[in-house]
Structure 1
Amino acid sequence: MPFRFVHTADLHLDSPLRSLALRNEELAGIVRGATRNALVRIVDLCIAEAVDALLIAGDLYDGNQTSMNTALFLAGELRRLDEAGIRTFIIRGNHDAQSQVTRELTLPPSVHVFPGRGKPVLAKTLENGRTVHIHGMSFAEPHAPESLLPHFHLPVADAINIGMLHTSLAGSAGHDPYAPCSVADLERHGFDYWALGHVHQRQVHSVKPSIVMPGMPQGRDINEAGVKGITLVTIDDDGAVTLEERPVGAAVFERVSIDLTGAADWRDMLEAVGRHLGLLRKGLPEADLILRITLTGTTPLSWRLRRDFDLLQGELANIAAGFGRCWVEKVETLFAGCSKQAMRIAADPIGELTALVENEVLSAFAFRADMRAVAEELLPHLPAELRHLLAADEAMLDDLVENAALSGSADVLSHLHGRSAVEGVD
C-alpha cells in the first residue's frame, strides 16, 4: 500500500474580514465562515480518501488575533481525523508564532506539532518494508530572516523522506521574506517531497524531487481570487510521487471582465452580463461566488453607465442573485476612450469641452504636477500596505495619477453629456 496524504498550508483560520463584502451582512457571514468551512472540507476529503495523514505547512492561524474559540474549533476537526485513524503533522508558520492559544491547547494524540529542532518522525512502514519519515521545523518568532534548511536532519537512509517547511523561497511578490532558500537548495537536501507553505499561490516548483507550494485553501478577498485547494499526494513503494489538485474553497472570489463592445442599449448590456455570469456559475456550481465585475469595450452606453452607476450596481447585483449564491462585491468601468468617442458624435458644446479636456487640460504639465502633489499629500495617510500597493515606486505613482485624471474627467464629462441629452442639446 502506498503512503497517501493531503498537503495544505495557510488556512489563516478566522482571519478578520478585509473585503468590500463587509457592506452586505449575508455576504459578510459567508466570508467570515469561509476559512472554517474550508478546513471542514479538507477533513472531509481526508476521511473520504482514507489518507494516512494530513500535513499542514504553517499558518493555521492569523497571528495574535486568534481566540480560544478558533483553537477549539481546530481541535474538534483534528479529533475527527484522529477518530478516523488519520495522523496530522503541523509546523508553525510566521502567523502561528504570534498566537499564544496554540501552546495552551490540548490536541489529539495523533497530532504531531514539530518543535524548533524536530527530529524526523516515522509516519508509516510500507508493505515492502520501506519506511516513510516526515521532517519538520517550526519557528518561534514571526520573523525568520535566515534559512532553516541547515537545521534539518539528513534524509533517513533507504527510506522515503518528506520535509515540511514554511518559506518564501527566493522571494514572492506580496509576501514577506521568511526562512528564505532556493529550490536548488531543497533539491540538494535529498528529500523525496517538500511540503511547503507561506506563498498563497499554488506552484509545483519541482517534480523530482517534488517541491510543492499548495497555495491557500480559501481566499479571503478579491486579491486572493480564483479556485483554491489542496494537494493530494500518493507515494508508491518505489518512491514514485503522484500529485492531484483538489478544490476545497467554500467561497470563490473572481475578477470578471465583460466586453460590452456592440451593446447598443441597456438591455444589450444586461444580456451580455447575464450570459457571462451564467457561464461562470456553470463552471463553479458548488461554490459561493463573490465577483468584482469590470465592464470594458466600446459602447455608446458608456456615458450612461457612468452617470447611472448606482442603477448599474443594482441591476448587476440582481442578475448575480438570480444564479443563486452569487454576489457582486464591486463594479468597475473602464470606458475612458469610448466615452470620448460617444460624446464626439455631434458637434456640440459637450463635444468641444471633451476635446478641450483631452488636448489641453490632461496633457498640461501644470495639471499633472498639481495632481501628483495631491496624491503625494494623501499617500502618507494610507496604511503602509496600501501605500505599497498603490505606489511602490515613481512609475506606479505616475500611473496612479494618470488613471485618476482619466477616470475622473470621464465621470464628469459623462454626467454633463447625460444632462445635455435630457435637455435636448444633442
Structure 2
Amino acid sequence: MIPFRFLHAADLHLDSRFAGLAHIPPAVRSILRESTFAALGRLVGVAIKEQVDFVVISGDVYDVSDSSLQGQLRFQEALQELGRHNISVFLIHGNHDPLDGPRLAGTPQDHVTVFGSDTPGQVTAHRRSDGLEVAIVSGLSYPTAKVTENTARTFERKPGSGLFHIALHHCNVDGDPQHETYSPCSRRDLIERGYDYWALGHIHTRRILQERPFIVYPGNIQGRSIKETGPKGCYVVDVDEDGSSSLQFHELDVVRWQVRDISIQGLHDEAQWIDAVEQAVEDIREEYPQLMSVVRFRLTGRGAVHRLLAEKGAAADLLGELQRREGIRAEQKAYQGLVWTEGFSVESGIEIDRERLLQEDSFLGEMLRVADRSKESKEELDQLVRSALAPLMENRELRRLLSETGEDEKLAWLERAAELGVTLLSTVEEPGSDEGTSVREHEEGRSYENSASGN
C-alpha cells in the first residue's frame, strides 16, 4: 500500500448564529460571529502546512440549511485555496446543511467531490505529489434535514481493491443522547461494512470509538456554547505501507469555551471571593494568551460567602462588572487574551454537618438519604425525576425535553434540589448572635448566566 496523509474534519457550522448575541457588546459579538470562519482558515493552514494529500469533511459545513451568502462565499474561498495547493476535498452534507437547502449556483471545482444522497458514492483519491492512487473514498449526503433510517447499512466496500477505504458518514453511533438520532447506527454496523477508516460527523465531542477499523468523530472545529467546552479541531491521519493509521489532533478554535470551579471554602467575605474570581480570570488569560476564552465559573463548596452569592446577588453584580471590563478590552484589540465571563453557576451551600444530618430521623435527613440513593442508582434517579415532574408532564414540549435529558443533567438537578432543601430547612446560628436564625436563601442554585450561551 502506498503511504499517504489526509485531514479529517466535520461540523464546521459556518456563520453560526450564537443565540443570545443581542445581549453582549458589539465588539464581542463580532469576534464570536467570526470565530467559525477563523477556525476554517486555520483548517486550511493545517492542511497546507502538513502537506496532506486530501481533506475529508463529514457534514454540516453550514449551520443552517438556508446557509448565509457570507458562509458560502467564505467556504468557496477556502476550497479555492486548497485547490491552489493541489489538495483535493471530499465532503458530504448533514442534517444542518442538507442537499435540498438553497445554495449559490456556481461552476463545480475539479478538486472538490460532493457526494450525493441516493447511494454512497465511491471516488478514487490520489497522492498529490505524484498522482498515484492511494484510497477509495465513499460518502453519503443528507437529502433533507431529517434522516431517521440506518443509512450505514447501504455502504459497501468496493471489492477487489488493495487501496485504503475511507467512508464519510454523518450519523449517531450507538444512540448518543446529546444529539439527534439522525442516521442512527451501531458500531457493529460500521465494522461489518469492511472499511479501513470511518470519517464521522454529527457528534461535536472528539471521540475515537474504535481503532481496528478506525471509527472517528473529530468533533466540531469551533465551540459555540458552554455545552461545547475544550479544544476543538481536526485530525491529520497518516496511513503507512501496511495500511496502519496514526492520528494527530490539531486545535483550530479561536474561542475556547470552558467551565472552571471556584470553591468558596475558606473565603470569609465578599472581598476575598472577588479576589478569587479576578485571579481565576487572569489565570485563564495567561493560560490562553492566543485565544478568546468564554468561561462559566461554577461556585462550589460550603462557607460564609454563600449567602452573599445567593441572597444578596453578589454573583450577578460581579458578572456585570467583569463583562463591562472585557467589553472595553474587546473594543481596543483583537480576540487574543480576552476572557469573557459567560456566567456564574452557584452550586455552593451553607456550612452544615452533613454526616450528622444523614443520621437524623428528620425530614431533612430523609431528603438527603433519598438524594444519595438516587445518585447511586440510575433507576431510582429516573423514578425520582419522573415523580417530581409528573404534574408538568401534560405539556408535550416538557415531555420531549425530559426524554432528551441525559443522566449527568438529571444528577445536576438533584444536587441543586438537595442543596436548596438544605438551605431552606436548616437552622444556622448567625455570626455574633446567641440564637438560631432560619436561613431562607430563595436564590439557592440559581445560575447567573449570560444569554450568549444560548442555554
1:360-379 alignment runs, 5 A limit = 376=391
1:214-253 alignment runs, 5 A limit = 214-253=218-257
Three-state SS of the structure 2 residue aligned to 1:289 is strand
> Per-residue CA shift, 1:28-59, capped at 9, x if unaligned?
22222221111111111111212111110011
The answer as to whether partners of 1:191 and 1:209 remain within 8 angstroms in 2 is yes
1:169 to 166, 173, 183: 173
Distance (whole Å) between structure 2 residues aligned to residue 383 and residue 84 of structure 1: 51
The answer to whether structure 1 residue 192 and structure 2 residue 192 are counterparts is: no
Distance (whole Å) between structure 2 residues aligned to residue 219 and residue 167 of structure 1: 19
Distance (whole Å) between structure 2 residues aligned to residue 253 and residue 115 of structure 1: 34
Displacement of 1:387 = 5.8
Q: Which residue of 2 aligns with 1:80?
A: 81
1:69-108 alignment runs, 5 A limit = 69-97=70-98, 100-102=101-103, 104-108=105-109
Distance (whole Å) between structure 2 residues aligned to residue 45 and residue 121 of structure 1: 24
Q: Which residue of 1 aligns with 2:137?
A: 134
The answer to whether structure 1 residue 335 and structure 2 residue 341 are counterparts is: no
The answer to whether structure 1 residue 30 and structure 2 residue 31 are counterparts is: yes
Q: Which residue of 1 aligns with 2:13?
A: 12
Q: Larger helix proportion, structure 1 or 2?
A: 1
The answer as to whether partners of 1:379 and 1:387 remain within 8 angstroms in 2 is no
Q: Which residue of 2 aligns with 1:61?
A: 62
The answer as to whether partners of 2:303 and 2:349 remain within 8 angstroms in 1 is no
Displacement of 1:143 = 2.2
Distance (whole Å) between structure 2 residues aligned to residue 379 and residue 289 of structure 1: 40
Unaligned runs of 5+ in 1: 342-357, 364-371, 417-426
Displacement of 1:331 = 1.4
Distance (whole Å) between structure 2 residues aligned to residue 391 and residue 232 of structure 1: 31
Q: Which residue of 2 aligns with 1:413?
A: 440
Distance (whole Å) between structure 2 residues aligned to residue 246 and residue 325 of structure 1: 22
Three-state SS of the structure 1 residue aligned to 2:227 is helix
Displacement of 1:210 = 1.2
Instruction: Give the aligned residue type for 2:317.
Output: L
- More deviation in 318-327 or 71-80? 318-327
1:318-333 alignment runs, 5 A limit = 324-333=337-346
> Per-residue CA shift, 1:199-247, capped at 9, x if unaligned?
1111101112111111111111111122111111111232121101111
Displacement of 1:198 = 0.9
Higher relative contact order structure (alpha carbons within 8 Å, sequence separation ≥ 6): 2
The answer to whether structure 1 residue 402 and structure 2 residue 417 are counterparts is: yes
Q: Which residue of 2 aligns with 1:424?
A: none
Instruction: Give the aligned residue type for 1:290.
Output: V
Q: TM-score under structure 1 normalisation?
A: 0.79
The answer as to whether partners of 2:264 and 2:299 remain within 8 angstroms in 1 is yes
> Per-residue CA shift, 1:296-324, capped at 9, x if unaligned?
22222222233142433245447878893
1:124 to 123, 126, 129: 126
Residues 193/398 of structure 1: CA separation in 2 closer, same or farther (3 Å cut): closer
Q: TM-score under structure 2 normalisation?
A: 0.74
Residues 139/312 of structure 1: CA separation in 2 closer, same or farther (3 Å cut): closer
Q: Which residue of 2 aligns with 1:271?
A: 275
Distance (whole Å) between structure 2 residues aligned to residue 44 and residue 326 of structure 1: 25
Displacement of 1:97 = 1.2
1:281-292 alignment runs, 5 A limit = 281-292=285-296
Query: Please, what is the CA RMSD of the aligned residues?
Result: 3.8
Three-state SS of the structure 2 residue aligned to 1:74 is helix
Instruction: Give the aligned residue type for 2:182.
Output: Y
> Per-residue CA shift, 1:136-178, capped at 9, x if unaligned?
1112122222222332232352111111111101210121112
Displacement of 1:16 = 1.7
Distance (whole Å) between structure 2 residues aligned to residue 201 and residue 42 of structure 1: 17
Distance (whole Å) between structure 2 residues aligned to residue 3 and residue 318 of structure 1: 50
Unaligned runs of 5+ in 2: 330-335, 354-362, 369-386, 426-437, 444-455
The answer as to whether partners of 2:234 and 2:251 remain within 8 angstroms in 1 is yes
Three-state SS of the structure 1 residue aligned to 2:272 is helix
Q: Which residue of 1 aligns with 2:382?
A: none
Distance (whole Å) between structure 1 residues aligned to residue 243 and residue 208 of structure 2: 18
Distance (whole Å) between structure 1 residues aligned to residue 337 and residue 22 of structure 2: 17
Residues 187/118 of structure 1: CA separation in 2 closer, same or farther (3 Å cut): closer
Q: Which residue of 1 aligns with 2:111?
A: 110
Residues 21/359 of structure 1: CA separation in 2 closer, same or farther (3 Å cut): farther
| Percentage identity across paired residues of the two chains | 29
> Per-residue CA shift, 1:330-380, capped at 9, x if unaligned?
112223333x79xxxxxxxxxxxxxxxx969x99xxxxxxxx999956994
The answer as to whether partners of 1:127 and 1:237 remain within 8 angstroms in 2 is no
How many equivalent residue pairs? Answer: 391
Three-state SS of the structure 2 residue aligned to 1:312 is helix
Residues 397/308 of structure 1: CA separation in 2 closer, same or farther (3 Å cut): closer
Q: Which residue of 1 aligns with 2:158?
A: 155
Three-state SS of the structure 2 residue aligned to 1:173 is coil
Distance (whole Å) between structure 2 residues aligned to residue 390 and residue 186 of structure 1: 27
Residues 373/187 of structure 1: CA separation in 2 closer, same or farther (3 Å cut): closer
The answer as to whether partners of 2:364 and 2:422 remain within 8 angstroms in 1 is no
Instruction: Give the aligned residue type for 1:325.
Output: L
Distance (whole Å) between structure 2 residues aligned to residue 261 and residue 29 of structure 1: 38
